[in-house]
Chain A
Amino acid sequence: MKRPRILLAKPGLDGHDRGVKVIAMALRDAGAEVIFLGLRQSPERIITAAIEESADVIGISVLSGAHLALGRQLVEERGKAGIADVPIVIGGTIPEADANALRETGISRVFPVGSPLDEVVDGMFREASAAVAP
């Protein structure tokens, strides 16, 4: 199987990057190619990078509480760019009600604080293989 290409980014102004770096290291150890955009990325920039990098999955991390607005903007930008088949996964401090709302807007998976590391890695690999399947 081809190594999945996973784009990771922190949208908005939130600087809590412990989690996203840990996920990046775990994904690499599991064999993924990780494109790490880093901090303060706009939704537009994340989608553009996903196209340029031919990402199989987009993963974003939000711990500032702005996940609903940022998640919706990202789904919207993805639609405009015509890459609705690239799944988006969000992790962070996300209460259950908001996780449901995010899934309804088109976010594929939500990993709230406390999600086991292996579960996150496995979920991202599954999204990647679903996305690259013919």
Chain B
Amino acid sequence: MTGERRTDSGIPVAPLYTQDDLEGFRPDEHLGLPGHPPFTRGPYETMYRGRLWTMRQFAGYGSAEDANDRFRFLLEQGQTALSVAFDLPTQLGYDSSHPMARAEVGRVGVAIDTADDMAGLFEGLPLDKLSVNFTINATAPIILAFYLVTAERQGASYGDLSGTLQNDLLKEFLARKAFIFPPAASMRLVADIVEWSSEHLPRFNPISVTGYHAREAGCNAVQELGLTMSSAIAYAEELQARGLPFDSFAPRFSFHFATTMNLFEEVAKLRAARRLWHDTATTRFGAQDPRSARLRFFSGNSGTTLTAAQPLNNIIRSTIQCLGAVLGGAQSIHVMGYDEAYELPTEEAVTLSLRTQQIVAHESGVADTVDALAGSYYVEWLTGEVERRAREVMKAVEELGGAVKALESGTPQRWIAAEAYRTEREIADGSRVRVGVNRYVDGSQAQHEPRLFTLNPEIGELQIARTERRKAARDEPAAVATLAALREALRSGANVMPPILDCARVGVTLGEMSDVMRDEFGEFREPSPW
């Protein structure tokens, strides 16, 4: 076949790359060695020879016990850490009994109303031994407090806790849309958590700056990288404005990228991300501690590349994406279930996702040497090209006044939507191939629906009754007093973590705390998408 070829981001690809394409490329300066600046080849010297990536399937549904069952199952199958999905009411600050919550309890994740629910979620799972990722944002301080109270009850010490709190609100406004409070209040909460955690949780990542959701909402690899870096800059500036030195918090920053289908562009993006963050940290923020400039990331496979038609094809798509994350040097990886175009994954589907990671890790040989693609004419050229173009995105955000002002104007959201529309148009006209959808369509199995996951329909009622029982049994004056102290901290500007921890310890619910915060901060309304 002839004609022009482009990456997913629209970068023109030549039929052949040679030494001539690497003019100006200096390995010492642009690559360095793994574990050393600019970290292009990886954040650690030995990478997967020292330790494999963390296999971390995102999981959670129903009640705390339901999710606990799935966690235990995954650990028995050889998963090495946990990643918690919360239901929408938990993410948006509603107890399960709230009218807006009723249809959504336990649906896209586990329902958590109280610290007792969190204790049930980790029943028999020692938090000083297990790294846990929490995909939580607007209610992140509350979920962090529930987790810490659970650790206290288990007798674990804060110094032994490891894991990651997503806690990236900018990408909620941009793409994921689980925001509650306006941007300024959201930035304060993010910074409160990072500041408090930097002091009390030495092994825990209190933020994961995330491009994943903008990508899933439609933007391309270059935009994903540029927007992520712009958000990281905004958070660093917010923390610096509190008088905190960059090196006091930046070593605990973690990142989260999507890894999708265009294999070499994804690898190039992940390598470029490390080089770009190193440059940003040292040049812009004057990082002295090398760990402040060393980007570590979690890779999530892309759900939007999966198809409802011929669903078994998704296993192959996920394998390629997993390979991209490994060749790009990920610290932890989630592989999508092949049935996720329909529903939450079944036990069979998540097992296959984990097996995909295990086969790539132990059979393919790609983990045997560090950054195997370094020095490839194409990959090095593309790494440079993605970096250059991502810098243009960062510059455009800067011209809009930085990440916060930009999202308030709605402009990056429009970039994302425009790119999503272009992609769908290309699928519709066949210029972007989707096997089983617009090419190699086989009518007999076009909609071969797999056996699907089903949720206990009683979950809502059960959860509401349980929270009511717990509220009836708590020390009510203490609950009232701690909530009043939280309101006072919100007004005075004091760090929210201590009063939220006090609330969590005496059984104040997530909805009650969120209501006080809604009262004080107000709620965000989206700008028009057009």
Contacts and interface: CB of A to CB of B under 8 A. Distances in A.
Contacts of A65: 107-108, 343-344, 455
B60 to A, nearest CB: 13
Interface in B97-145: 100-104, 107-108
Interface string A82-94: 0000000000010
Interface residues of B, number: 43
Interface in A10-58: 12-18, 21-22, 24-26, 36, 38-40, 42
A13 B88 contact: yes
A77 B103 CA distance: 16
A18 B452 contact: no
A70 B107 CA distance: 13
A1 interface: no
Label chain B's interface by main secondary structure.
loop
B425 interface: yes
B377 interface: no
B33 interface: no
B517 to A, nearest CB: 17
A9 B420 CA distance: 18
Contact of B104 (A13, A96, A112): A13
Contact of B417 (A12, A16, A25, A113): A25
A66 B107 CA distance: 7
A114 interface: yes
Given A69-B102, A114-B437, A64 B108 contact: yes
Given A13-B100, A13-B104, A18-B217, A93 B89 contact: no
A13 B528 CA distance: 18
A114 B438 CA distance: 11
Interface in B160-194: 172, 176-178
A15 B177 contact: yes
Contact of A22 (B177, B307, B420): B420
Contacts of A134: none
Given A39-B526, A113-B342, A95 B417 contact: no
Contacts of A25: 417, 421
Interface string B191-205: 000000000000000
Given A95-B449, A117-B425, A64 B88 contact: yes
A69 B103 contact: yes
B140 to A, nearest CB: 16
Contacts of A112: 308
A114 B309 contact: yes
A117 B421 CA distance: 10
Nearest to A40: B100
Given A38-B529, A93-B342, 14 more contacts: A13-B101, A13-B104, A14-B104, A18-B216, A21-B417, A22-B218, A39-B177, A39-B526, A65-B455, A66-B107, A69-B103, A96-B447, A117-B427, A118-B428
14 contacts: A14-B88, A14-B108, A17-B177, A18-B218, A21-B420, A24-B529, A26-B421, A65-B107, A65-B455, A69-B102, A93-B341, A114-B307, A117-B427, A117-B428
Interface of B: 88-89, 91-92, 94, 100-104, 107-108, 172, 176-178, 216-218, 304, 307-309, 341-344, 417, 420-421, 424-425, 427-428, 437, 447, 449, 452, 455, 526, 528-530
